[in-house]
């Protein structure tokens, strides 16, 4: 009725409707966070780096002898889409954009310490620019760009890069130069400040600069830009699948409620002892520390060929376990079942870490075959939750990740792989690790270890 009335009355009536249209337009329009002339609405926290304005551009100058500095908004923001452009000098420098972050006013001798999520600005060779890091906490890297390698080509050196940060509800998606670089679903920090970082530096980088311009925000009528189906999503909600994960084919291997889909390696049912499902976790219970002497290993009922497997695990002090793949049970061993193994281990307290060859029994290694990266940023403290990931592509390329950081890669069945196997304890098993398909296995090594958020996406 109203629409017909407006059409009949003609263009003059649109004047009365214009406030409505203006309101809709404002809800869909970005608002400047920086006026191009002053720092009104902003304040410096943390360190003593110099911030200035040149031709409508915020210039942060890296300064020796000062901790990380932040030009922060006075106001906190919850749901928003933030767009800005940045440029950074050099390849050893570092910066970032804090979102939904907070201030510890007692930190840095009363200057304040900023902590919370940071979209990384990193021009170095590791190519993690656009990843998601957590400043000032023990969570460290949440989304390193090794998790989604196409993102590592997005950054453009020595020129302005366009950054788009979509923070809606529990999710944060980051886009750089129209390329998605990070996608995270979190359980904390739904609101906080926005800040522009000038990182602390060694003396040789004194005077290097980072530039920010065209800083605009939208806080209403928000929606995510569609992610590509092959993009890995870090979902920190326990045993949860987001709509995007479901659309891309990700499924839960453990539903968080019962042991459906899992069985013992030597029976058609789940073990009657040694394992427990409780509080959304599937746990191997402590026994004598021996391999497969209590509840025995458990495997998925289904077998898998190429896949993207992710899981969270929590170790107790001195514990040993593992996630095995391409387990066929053809070997009929008395101990743990044979298979390629993502090692789960307390490197400091379990003796296995010092055995094998060149550390090939340490955390995230291909057990007894290939040593994982020595990157000290990857493992969390014992007692904290770690995120493991194993990707096997249809061409048999295999990659292990730990907390988002790539730990090793190899190709099943290759000449190099066969050579490594020939020098290992697996040499006596014909075509070890080369099965067309196999079960996923969680190992009972007699130590208390917890698992949750076990997910798989079959790859074709």
Does residue 208 share a domain with residue 112? yes
Task: Say if residues 106 and 96 touch (Cβ distance below 8 Å).
Answer: no
Q: Which residue has the higher pLDDT, 29 or 23?
A: 29
Instruction: Extract the tokens encoding 122.
Output: 């990193």
Q: How would residue 435 be classed by pLDDT, with cut points 50, 70 and 90?
A: very high
For 218-249, the pLDDT digits (tens) are 999 999 999 999 999 999 999 999 999 999 99
Short-list 321, 395, 331, CA closest to 364: 321
Tell me if 241 is assigned to some domain.
no
Classify the phi-psi angles of 203: left when phi > 0, otherwise alpha if psi is within -120 to 50, otherwise beta.
alpha
Does residue 355 share a domain with residue 454? yes
158 CB neighbour count, 10 Å cutoff: 10
Does residue 409 share a domain with residue 269? yes
Tell me if 130 is assigned to some domain.
yes
Does residue 189 share a domain with residue 136? yes
DSSP 146: G
Q: Determine the average pLDDT of the residues in 83-94.
A: 97
Short-list 250, 187, 203, CA closest to 389: 250
Does residue 170 share a domain with residue 265? no
Instruction: Extract the tokens encoding 435.
Output: 């099965």
Helix ranges (H only) for 157-277 are: 243-248
Does residue 189 share a domain with residue 260? no
What is the Cα–Cα distance from 164 to 178, expressed in whole angstroms?
8
In this prediction, residue 442 carries a pLDDT of 98
Tell me if 273 is assigned to some domain.
yes
Query: The tokens 């020796």 sit on which residue?
Result: 64
DSSP 351: G
Does residue 50 share a domain with residue 158? yes
For 164-193, the pLDDT digits (tens) are 999 999 999 999 999 999 999 999 999 999
Does residue 205 share a domain with residue 105? yes
At which of 218, 244, 262 does a domain end? 218
Domain with residue 145: its CATH number is 2.60.120.560
Overall domain count for the chain: 2
In this prediction, residue 2 carries a pLDDT of 38
What is the sign, positive or negative, of the torsion defined by CA atoms of 15, 21, 25, 31?
positive
Tell me if 25 is assigned to some domain.
no
In this prediction, residue 291 carries a pLDDT of 67
Does residue 124 share a domain with residue 189? yes
In this prediction, residue 292 carries a pLDDT of 62
In this prediction, residue 293 carries a pLDDT of 66
In this prediction, residue 306 carries a pLDDT of 98
- Look up the domain containing 443 and give its range: 252-458
Tell me if 1 is assigned to some domain.
no
Q: Determine the average pLDDT of the residues in 397-404.
A: 97
Does residue 317 share a domain with residue 384? yes
Tell me if 227 is assigned to some domain.
no
Tell me if 257 is assigned to some domain.
yes
In this prediction, residue 109 carries a pLDDT of 79
For 112-166, the pLDDT digits (tens) are 899 999 999 999 999 999 999 999 998 999 999 999 999 999 999 999 999 999 9
Burial class, 9, CB count within 10 angstroms (exposed 0-12 / middle 13-18 / buried 19+): exposed
What is the Cα–Cα distance from 98 to 60, expressed in whole angstroms?
15
Q: How would residue 19 be classed by pLDDT, with cut points 50, 70 and 90?
A: very low
Tell me if 68 is assigned to some domain.
yes
The rounded percent of the chain whose pLDDT value lies above 70 is: 93
pTM: 0.90
Q: Is the pLDDT of residue 450 over 60?
A: yes
Q: Determine the average pLDDT of the residues in 368-379.
A: 92
Does residue 166 share a domain with residue 84? yes
What is the Cα–Cα distance from 387 to 447, expressed in whole angstroms?
19
Span of 3-17, 43-57, 121-135 with lowest mean pLDDT: 3-17
250 CB neighbour count, 10 Å cutoff: 19
What is the Cα–Cα distance from 244 to 228, expressed in whole angstroms?
9
Task: Say if residues 321 and 443 touch (Cβ distance below 8 Å).
Answer: yes
Q: Determine the average pLDDT of the residues in 277-302.
A: 88
In this prediction, residue 294 carries a pLDDT of 80
Does residue 64 share a domain with residue 116? yes
Q: CA of 139: how far to CAs of 135, 204, 345, 425, in Å?
A: 8, 29, 20, 37
What is the Cα–Cα distance from 434 to 454, expressed in whole angstroms?
23
What is the Cα–Cα distance from 126 to 149, expressed in whole angstroms?
11
- Cite the beta strand spans of 46-160 per DSSP E: 50-54, 57-61, 69-73, 80-88, 95-104, 113-121, 132-135, 140-143
Instruction: Extract the tokens encoding 275.
Output: 């394992």
> Where is 283: in which H helix or E strand?
strand 281-284
């Amino acid at each position: 009725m109203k629409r017909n009335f407006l059409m009949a009355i003609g263009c003059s009536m649109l004047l009365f409707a214009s406030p409505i249209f203006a309101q809709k337009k404002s809800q869909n329009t970005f608002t400047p966070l920086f006026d191009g002339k002053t720092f009104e609405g902003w304040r410096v926290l943390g360190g003593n780096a110099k911030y200035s304005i040149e031709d409508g551009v915020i210039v942060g100058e890296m300064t020796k002898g000062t901790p990380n500095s932040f030009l922060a908004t006075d106001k906190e923001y919850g749901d928003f889409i933030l767009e800005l452009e940045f440029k950074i000098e050099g390849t050893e420098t570092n910066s970032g954009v804090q979102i939904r972050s907070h201030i510890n006013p007692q930190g840095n001798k009363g200057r304040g310490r900023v902590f919370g999520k940071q979209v990384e600005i990193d021009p170095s060779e590791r190519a993690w620019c656009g990843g998601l890091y957590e400043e000032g906490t023990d969570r460290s890297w949440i989304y390193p760009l090794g998790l989604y390698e196409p993102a590592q080509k997005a950054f453009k050196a020595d020129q302005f890069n366009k950054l788009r940060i979509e923070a809606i509800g529990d999710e944060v998606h980051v886009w750089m130069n129209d390329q998605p670089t990070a996608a995270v679903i979190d359980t904390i920090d739904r609101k906080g400040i926005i800040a522009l970082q000038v990182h602390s530096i060694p003396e040789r980088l004194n005077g290097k600069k980072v530039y920010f311009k065209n800083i605009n925000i939208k806080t209403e009528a928000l929606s995510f830009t569609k992610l590509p189906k092959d993009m890995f999503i870090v979902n920190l909600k326990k045993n949860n699948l987001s709509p995007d994960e479901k659309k891309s084919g990700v499924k839960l291997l453990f539903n968080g409620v019962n042991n459906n889909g899992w069985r013992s390696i030597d029976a058609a049912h789940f073990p009657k002892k040694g394992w427990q499902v409780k509080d959304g976790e599937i746990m191997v219970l402590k026994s004598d520390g021996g391999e497969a002497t209590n509840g025995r290993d458990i495997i998925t009922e289904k077998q898998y060929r190429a896949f993207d497997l992710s899981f969270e695990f929590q170790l107790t002090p001195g514990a040993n376990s593992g996630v095995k793949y391409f387990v066929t049970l053809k070997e009929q061993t008395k101990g743990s079942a044979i298979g390629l193994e993502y090692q789960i281990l307390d490197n400091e307290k379990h003796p296995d870490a010092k055995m094998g060859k060149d550390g090939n029994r340490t955390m995230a290694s291909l057990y007894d075959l290939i040593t994982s990266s020595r990157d000290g940023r990857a493992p969390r403290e014992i007692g904290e939750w770690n995120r493991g990931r194993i990707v096997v592509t249809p061409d048999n390329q295999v990659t292990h990740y730990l907390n988002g950081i790539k730990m090793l890669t190899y190709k099943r069945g290759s000449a190099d792989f066969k050579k490594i196997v020939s020098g290992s304890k697996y040499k006596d098993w014909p075509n070890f690790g080369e099965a067309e398909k196999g079960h996923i296995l969680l190992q009972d090594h007699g130590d208390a270890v917890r698992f949750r958020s076990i997910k798989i996406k079959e790859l074709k």
